Amino acid sequence: MNQPLSREELKLKREKYVVPSVKQLYNDPPHLVQGKGQYLLDEKGRQYLDMFAGIVTVSVGHCHPKVTERTIEQLKKLQHTSTSFMTQPMVDLAEKLAQITPGNLNKSYITNSGTEANEAAILLARVASKRFEVIALQHSYHGFSHLANALTGNHNWRPEVPSAAGIVFAANAYCYRCPFKKTPDSCNLECAQDVERVIQTQTGGSAACMIAEPIQGVGGTITPPDEYFGQVKKILDKYGVKFIADEVQTGFGRTGKHMFGITNWNVQPDMITMAKGLGNGAPIGAMITTDEIAKAGQKQSINTFGGNPVSSATALAVIETIEEEKLMENAKVVGDYLLEGLRDMAKSYPIMADVRGKGLMLGVEIAAEDKTPLAQETARIVEHAKDNGVIIGKGGLFGNVIRIKPPLSITKENVDTCLQAVRQGVETVSKVLSR
């Protein structure tokens, strides 16, 4: 096998040949060459504990043997025919998705990514409702096509070009920085009520759909209060607006307890979009909806690679692994342990201003006492953790949220290692700040 390039050589080559919008997390990025379970190896053979799972994607662990075997098996048998021809893996996957999604969601459209799944959902919601306008949430992220980008309520991810038409934004349920300057105990869920205000003042009173992440991922693990989605759904039902839960990050057991994040709020969506954890790194996404809504989409559609046998067989193996290895349950137990550890640590470090999330979808907002976001310090904590062998992510509108979203297979021992790395980083930046 060829020797891998040194990280310096690879960095230069990447800068020369890859568009500059494809950015990387670190100032001094390792060249990652191998993955196994929750661990990654760089070109020098150094091991990292991966507490970010790519970006919230490696659900069952890197190169899981069962998944890899099933991928290779299918790859050797049949890679492609397109959906114009009958093959079984896509249909088996669609059947499985109907079984594991909540309520009466039955009909799937398999794609290659979360962006495509969201495109498909919005298009179908518009066709089925014969309405055009779409409600999204501020601080959201929904992908990188023209439409998905226009649904994204975060300027960091939106090039300054004319946006897709017909999209309006409601305030998000961001309790730490409440858009209405209220506190959770007496806010009367002003953020949920904003959805009705938006319908009344920014649409013709008849939006096609609302799309929302149960927990905003790129937005910084923003986790709405328990009653939020129930209230929102009531408003949407009143106006006949369909609800799309974007579960690209929250799906497949990540939030613990439930296969899909929205079930934590006991709300039934009209459509769910998914990707990331479904493929454990294989390029696949899906939109699932009811028979009734699906019926509206009778025009021909083709997605050359969507539903291809290899990605579909891989995704099926991933879901089976989540079930067999009880990874959803693990996400709850180990996630609660991590949440408790972070909350405990926050008592000693005031810059850990808000610790939030569910299961293994956790975030820590790094801010000064007056809530000024500490973005540079966050970047330093993340870089520091990497230098200590632990990969964590970062996000949020202000770039000041540490994101911890590892493979669902991690252990409590891994959590202890992660906590130690976070503590060292937080301690270092806290000392610098106090000088």
Ligand X SMILES: Cc1ncc(COP(=O)(O)O)c(C=O)c1O
The contact set with ligand X (CB under 6 A) reads 55, 113-115, 118, 141-143, 213, 217-218, 246, 248-249, 275, 285
d(C-alpha 251, C-alpha 258), whole Å = 9
Torsion of CA 388, 379, 142, 236, to 10 degrees: 110
Closest residue by Cα to residue 380 from 333, 432, 419: 432
Least Å distance between CB 85 and ligand X? 25
Least Å distance between CB 43 and ligand X? 26
Our CB check for ligand X shows the closer of 219 and 425 to be: 219
Going 133 to 106 to 53 to 174, the CA torsion angle's sign is positive
Least Å distance between CB 244 and ligand X? 11
66 burial class (0-12, 13-18, 19+ CB within 10 angstroms)? middle
Closest residue by Cα to residue 158 from 20, 21, 363: 21
- CB-based closest residue to ligand X: 114
- Whether residue 273 contacts residue 114, with contact meaning beta carbons closer than 8 Å, is answered with yes
- Whether residue 55 contacts residue 393, with contact meaning beta carbons closer than 8 Å, is answered with yes
Our CB check for ligand X shows the closer of 166 and 283 to be: 283
Q: Tokens for 69?
A: 């075997």
CA angle 181, 228, 100 (to 5 degrees): 145
Least Å distance between CB 216 and ligand X? 8
Least Å distance between CB 319 and ligand X? 17
Our CB check for ligand X shows the closer of 213 and 377 to be: 213
Our CB check for ligand X shows the closer of 62 and 380 to be: 62
Least Å distance between CB 288 and ligand X? 15
Closest residue by Cα to residue 284 from 259, 257, 253, 252: 252
Our CB check for ligand X shows the closer of 122 and 410 to be: 122
Least Å distance between CB 274 and ligand X? 9
Least Å distance between CB 57 and ligand X? 8
What secondary structure does DSSP assign to 56-74, as a single string?
Answer: HT-SS-BT-HHHHHHHHHH
Q: What are the phi and psi torsion angles at 123 (to 5°)?
A: -60, -50
- The three-state secondary structure class of 200 is helix
Our CB check for ligand X shows the closer of 173 and 429 to be: 173
| Type of residue found at 293 | I
CA angle 367, 174, 238 (to 5 degrees): 175
Closest residue by Cα to residue 317 from 56, 55, 74, 37: 74
Radius of gyration of the chain (CA): 21
Least Å distance between CB 62 and ligand X? 18
Least Å distance between CB 405 and ligand X? 10
Closest residue by Cα to residue 58 from 241, 327, 245: 327
208 burial class (0-12, 13-18, 19+ CB within 10 angstroms)? buried
